[in-house]
Chains A and B, each alone.
Chain A
Amino acid sequence: MSIAAKANSLWEYANPRKFLATSERVLPFFWITSAVCVVVGLVWGFFFTPDDYKQGSTVKIIYLHVPAALMAINCWLMMLATSLIWLVRRHHVSALASRAAAPVGIVMTLIALVTGAIWGQPMWGTWWAWDPRLTSFLILFLFYLGYVALWEAIEDPDTAADLTSVLCLVGSVFALLSRYAVNFWNQGLHQGASVMRVAAVTGADSEEKVSNVYFYPLLLCIIGFVLLFIALVLYRTGTEIRARRIKALQARERVSG
């Protein structure tokens, strides 16, 4: 196979060295654009949009709440994908990317939960309600905790990657089941998913929808969070690769020593 053909393959980036080199080149771009998007989006959203006629200024917490909630779920989906890649193709970078993403996902889930509570207090008069969406996020948070705890508990890196990948697969199924179970168990107060609606919004809104004024700063924040997530995962995966390399070198020394 010619070198050019090889370099075109996506799997080329499964090589840790290639991954490190590329990620170091593109990381500054992600850091800067994500910072710009988030800062502009937040400032625009917080200071240059009108208060909602019903929810007042509290509505502006969506600029943190919605992107964080979105990334909390997307992060799990990314971990599911990378776990599958590890199980099928056994690329170490893939497994390490799942490992690197999990704490980011935890933080995103926490941000979504905390901002949700802060939003809920004035709107629903309570910090916490066992609303299906809130409950699902809490369950997702538990799944993240278990996943990270399993990574931490197992010494051998390949075994840890295998076990956490299977846990991620099984966990995904059960998380989905829990979502339906929770919906069945309690129909909630929460408004429907904001983003789906936002994407569908074109002009005048019914009062339930996030109106157009809020749409562009929100979109900017979401883009910013996606880029931030990518930057964090790339950066943390690089750290995991280096940590893994140190371990491998130490093991080599033990064998030859």
Chain B
Amino acid sequence: MIALLLRDLKLAFRAGGGFGLGLAFFLIVTVLVPFSVGPQSSLLSTIAPGVLWLGALLACLLSLDRLLALDWEDGSLDLLATAPLPLESVVTIKALAHWLTTGLPLVLAAPFLGILLNLPVPGFFWLVISLLVGTPAMSVIGTFGAALTVGLKRGGLLLSLLVLPLYVPTLIFGAEVARRGATGMETQTPLLMLAGITAATIALLPFASAAVLRINLR
């Protein structure tokens, strides 16, 4: 299991691995927001938590279609399925690698982009906390979407269509935590809900992902 994680991390960091693409996308989206809504800092600081959450979500989505498709194309998935490692572990490790190479950098970059959008000072802490709690769910749900569409030649668009509705609860509670935090309101309820969703998806969704992967491998 460690070997698979290390391999995926190594692949992501090597040439053509796509590491940093999500981050660059996050940066660009954030920079484009003031161009589209105007530069008033009061407006920007109001929408900053939501914009940053949405940007992180889209950046996460961007890299999903490589998550399993590359291993599918070169036959590694077939071989992994015949290996002693259960597919449930394989998809969990894949999601973990995706989070480490996409989600975690987004969490770390978010405060700096928050400066660009005039995020109120108390909001920084809650933004990072909410993203830290929410992004693992996005990786796990994304892995499920990737497993569903892995056999399709142009699955990228379909993948977005399938995964985005599944992101709704995470986005609502995550952005709510960041928004409430930025305005100094109580954040405990949405944060608990967010954490609950993340914990439940991590616990249950890998079984669904492995099941659809098995179906796709037939």
Contacts and interface: CB of A to CB of B under 8 A. Distances in A.
Determine direct contact between A and B, CB below 8 Å. Answer: yes
Contacts of A142: 161, 164-165
Given A150-B158, A153-B152, A166-B208, A184 B164 contact: no
Contacts, number: 76
B216 interface: yes
Interface in A122-169: 139, 142-143, 145-146, 149-150, 153-154, 159, 162-163, 166-167, 169
Interface string B62-80: 0000000000000000000
Contacts of B158: 146, 149-150, 153
Contacts of B5: none
Given A163-B148, A170-B144, A181-B173, A149 B212 contact: no
A181 B193 CA distance: 9
A185 B211 contact: no
A171 interface: yes
Contacts of B208: 166, 169-170
A185 B165 CA distance: 16
Interface size class of chain A, counting residues whose CB lies under 8 Å from the partner chain: 20 to 34
Contacts of A146: 158, 161-162, 165
Interface string A191-227: 0000000000000000000000000000000000000
B139 interface: no
Contact of B168 (A149, A162, A167, A174): A174
Nearest to A87: B211
A114 interface: no
27 contacts: A139-B168, A142-B164, A145-B161, A146-B158, A146-B161, A150-B162, A153-B155, A162-B212, A162-B215, A163-B216, A170-B205, A170-B208, A174-B168, A175-B165, A177-B169, A178-B165, A178-B168, A178-B169, A178-B172, A181-B168, A181-B172, A181-B193, A184-B172, A184-B176, A184-B193, A185-B172, A185-B176
List of 3 A-B pairs having minimum Cβ-Cβ separation, nearest first: A181-B172, A181-B169, A177-B169
